[in-house]
Structure 1
Amino acid sequence: MKSKVFAGIALLGAMTLVATACSSGAGGDSGDGGGGGDETITVGFAQTGSESGWRSANTESMKTAFSEDEGFELIFNAADNDPAAQISAVRDFISRGVDAIVIAPIVEDGWDDVLQEAADAGIPVILEDRTVTASDDLYEAWVGLDFTKEGVMAGEWAAETFGDTPTKMVVLEGTTGSAPANDRAEGFAQAVEGTGIETIDSQTGDFTRDGGKTVMEGFIQKYGIDGIDLLYAHNDDMALGAIEAIEAAGGVPGQDIQIVSIDAVKDGMQALIDGKINYIVECNPLLGDLAAGLVRDVLAGEDVEKTHFVEDQTFTQEQAAEVIDSRAY
C-alpha cells in the first residue's frame, strides 16, 4: 500500500467519524471550501457494484456527500464488479469533461492507461476505499481503510484464541486481485505466523453472501464440519453466507466452527451478538465526506496529502451489543 501518511484535518475528521460511528462529520467543509464557490462541481464516481451491505452503506455515504445540496452534480456508475466495465465508465466520465473523478477500484491492476488519460485531460482523480498499483503521480489522493492492519487485527484474535493448538482454518477471500483481499490475507498471515493455525483451503467468495455460502458448502462437503475449526472471512457478507451453509449442514456456527470476519455491518454485528460470529474487525464505509473534501481542496489548488486512513475498531460479542443500535451501517 502507499505510504501511511495521516493528513491532519482528514485524520481529525476520520477519528471523529469512527468514535461516533453514526456521525458523518468528517473530512472537508462542504460550505465555503474550494472548488468554484457557488458553481456546481460535476463529479464522476465509479463504484465497484452493490455486492455487500458494506458497499451499499459506502454508496449512500458518497451520494449524500456529493449531493446537489452540497454543491455537486454526481454521475454515478456501479460496475457490478466488472473491471473492464469500470474502466469504460471512467473513460465516459473523461469524455463528458467532468470536474473530478472518484474511483473505488475493483482490482488493483490495469489502471495506468485510463488514469493517464484523465491526467492528460486535466481531470483530477481521487481514489476511495481501494488502491491501485499504478504510479501515485496519476491520482491526487486516496482515502480509505488500512486493509493490512484489519487482517492483522483479525489474525491477532485468532492467534490469541487458538495459540499453539492445532487448528484447521478455511478462508473466504474477497474479490481476486482486489486490494482488501490481498492486504487482509497478508495481514492475517503475519499475525498467525508461528501459531498452530493451518490454512487447509482458501477460495474467493467475491465479497458476496451467495458466494460465501456456495464456497462454504464446498468446504463442508470436502472436510466435514468436524474437519474445520476456524473460518476467516474477508467480509461479513461472506461470513453470513457461510453461517447459512454451516447451519444447513447441521453445525453450530460460532461453536463447531469459530468465525472471524471484517466489516462490522449491522447484519454481521447481529450475528456476533447472537454468537454465530466470534469476532469482527471494523471496516468503516462512511468515506463520502472525506472524499468530497478532498475533491474541493484539489479543485481549489490546495496541496493534499496522498494517503488518508480512517481508523477501525474491533468488536467482541459484548462490545457489539453495546453499540449496534447507534451505528449508521
Structure 2
Amino acid sequence: MQPCTLIRYLVLCWTLLVAWPAGAVTVAFINPGKSTEAYWVAATQAMQVAARSLDWQLEVQYAERDHLRVLELARSLVARPPAQRPDYVILSNDNATGAELLRLFDGSGIKCFMAFSRLSAAEEAQLGGPRQRYKDWIGSLEPLAEEAGYLTAKALIQQGRSARAQAADGKLHLLAIAGDRSTPSSVRRNEGLQRAVAEAKDVVLEQTIYAGWTRDKAAEQADWLYERYPAARLVWAGNDLMAFGAMQSLEKRGGTPGKSMWFSGINASADGMQAIQSGRLAALAGGHFIAGAWALVMLYDYHHGRDFADEGLQLEASMFVLFDPATARKFEARFGQRYDSIDFRRYSKVLNPKLARYSFGFAQLLR
C-alpha cells in the first residue's frame, strides 16, 4: 500500500471509531482551508469557543485547500455507522464544492448548514434553496462579502488620493489580486471592488488576476503585473496573504509598501493587524471569521425548537469591520488571537427569549 493511501486509510479508520459522548449534540465542520492558515484557524477557534459556550461537541477536519479532499472528508462522515455520524455538518462552498457536498449528504440523516460561502445564484437556480430538493440542507449564513471588497477598495482609493498617487493622466491606476473565480464570496468581494471603482470616476482598474488565496502565487503574479502596468500605485487584494505576496514583490524591486505603493487586504490576522498599524497596509477589513460561530448559535436555536426560518433560511449579515490603527489595537487587546472572552450564549434566541432578531456584526464585539 502506498504511503499516501495508507495515511488516508488510517484517517478513515479513526473517523469510523469516533465515539461521541452519550446525549451530546454533535457538529462536524469541514474546514476548506489550511490548518496553518490564519483565517481558517481563527474561524475554527471561534467555533470551538461557541461550541463550549453552548455545551455542544464540535469536530473540525481541514481539507488543506484541496477541493477533492473536501469531498473525501464528506464521504468519510457519511460512511460512519449512523450512531457515530454527527447531528449537523457545517459546510462552505469554496471552489464550488457546495452542490456536490449537498448531494453526498442527502439521505445520510446529517443536517447540513452552509456558512462562510453559500451556493451561487446559478447553483440555487438549478438545485433550489434549503429544505427543497435537499431536505436536510436547512439553511445558510454568509458574511456580506461584497461589503468587504467595497470598504477596502474605497479606503485604498482615498489613501491613494491623499498620497497624490495619480499617474500622468491624473487618474489612480489600480491592480486587483483576487482569490478564485468560483467561490461565491470571492466573486462578491470582486463585485465590491468594482462598485467602489465605478463610484470613484478617477480610478482605472488595470487588471484583475487570481492568485488562489496564496502569498507565493500573488508574489509571482505581481512581478509581471508591475512590469506591465508601471503607472499602477494601488493594489487591492482579496485577502491579507495575497497583499503580503504583492508587497514582497514590490520590496524585491526596491519599493516600500505604504510609500511607493499602497495595498489593501481582508482578514483579521495578527500580521494584518500589525501591517495596518505600521502603515504597510492602507486598508484592512475583517471579522467574518466569526461566521461559523454564529452558525452554531443558529443551529442551537433550531435544535431547541426556535427555527431561524422567521428571519430567512439564507441569511446574509454585515460582519466586517474596516480596521484602522486604533481599532486594530483594540482588537489585539481584546482578543489577541483567542476568543474565549465571547459569550455566545448571549446571542441565542432560545437562551434570550426577548431577542427578536439575530445580531451578527463583529463591531459589537469590540465595544
> What is the CA deviation profile of residues 55-90 of structure 1, one whole-angstrom value per residue up to 9, with x for unaligned ones?
1111222234345x8544433221122222212322
SS of the counterpart of 1:120? coil
Q: What is the CA–CA distance in structure 1 between the aligned matches of 2:327 and 2:306, rounded to whole Å?
A: 40
Q: What is the CA–CA distance in structure 2 between the aligned matches of 1:238 and 1:264, rounded to whole Å?
A: 14
> What is the CA deviation profile of residues 266-299 of structure 1, one whole-angstrom value per residue up to 9, with x for unaligned ones?
2112111111111112233133432222222333
Contact 1:131 1:179 in 2 (8 A): yes
Change beyond 3 A, Cα 1:99–1:321: closer
Larger radius of gyration between Structure 1 and Structure 2: 2
1:312 to 320, 340, 344: 320
Does residue 207 in structure 1 map to residue 227 in structure 2?
A: no
User: What is the Cα deviation at residue 144 of structure 1?
Assistant: 3.6
Contact 1:230 1:259 in 2 (8 A): yes
Contact 2:31 2:60 in 1 (8 A): yes
Paired-residue identity, %: 19
1:123 to 98, 110, 115: 110
Does residue 53 in structure 1 map to residue 51 in structure 2?
A: no
Change beyond 3 A, Cα 1:294–1:93: farther
Does residue 172 in structure 1 map to residue 159 in structure 2?
A: no
Equivalent residue, structure 1, for 2:291: 287
1:181 to 186, 189, 200: 186
Equivalent residue, structure 1, for 2:87: 99
Change beyond 3 A, Cα 1:136–1:222: same
SS of the counterpart of 1:188? helix
Q: What is the CA–CA distance in structure 2 between the aligned matches of 1:169 and 1:192, rounded to whole Å?
A: 9
User: What is the Cα deviation at residue 110 of structure 1?
Assistant: 4.6
Uncovered stretches (5+) of structure 2, i.e. residues with no partner:
1-20, 338-367
Q: TM-score when scaled to structure 2?
A: 0.70
Uncovered stretches (5+) of structure 1, i.e. residues with no partner:
1-36
Contact 1:158 1:192 in 2 (8 A): no
Contact 1:64 1:288 in 2 (8 A): no
Contact 2:92 2:98 in 1 (8 A): no
Q: What is the CA–CA distance in structure 2 between the aligned matches of 1:191 and 1:168, rounded to whole Å?
A: 13
Q: What is the CA–CA distance in structure 2 between the aligned matches of 1:201 and 1:245, rounded to whole Å?
A: 17
Point out which structure has higher relative CO (alpha carbons under 8 A, 6+ apart): 1
Equivalent residue, structure 2, for 1:65: 50
SS of the counterpart of 2:280? coil
Q: TM-score when scaled to structure 1?
A: 0.78
Contact 1:101 1:123 in 2 (8 A): yes
Does residue 220 in structure 1 map to residue 201 in structure 2?
A: no
> What is the CA deviation profile of residues 191-231 of structure 1, one whole-angstrom value per residue up to 9, with x for unaligned ones?
210522222222222222223222222323444xx432100
User: What is the Cα deviation at residue 252 of structure 1?
Assistant: 0.9
Q: What is the CA–CA distance in structure 2 between the aligned matches of 1:81 and 1:325, rounded to whole Å?
A: 31
Aligned length: 289
1:76 to 60, 69, 89: 60
The code of the aligned residue for 1:326 comes to: R
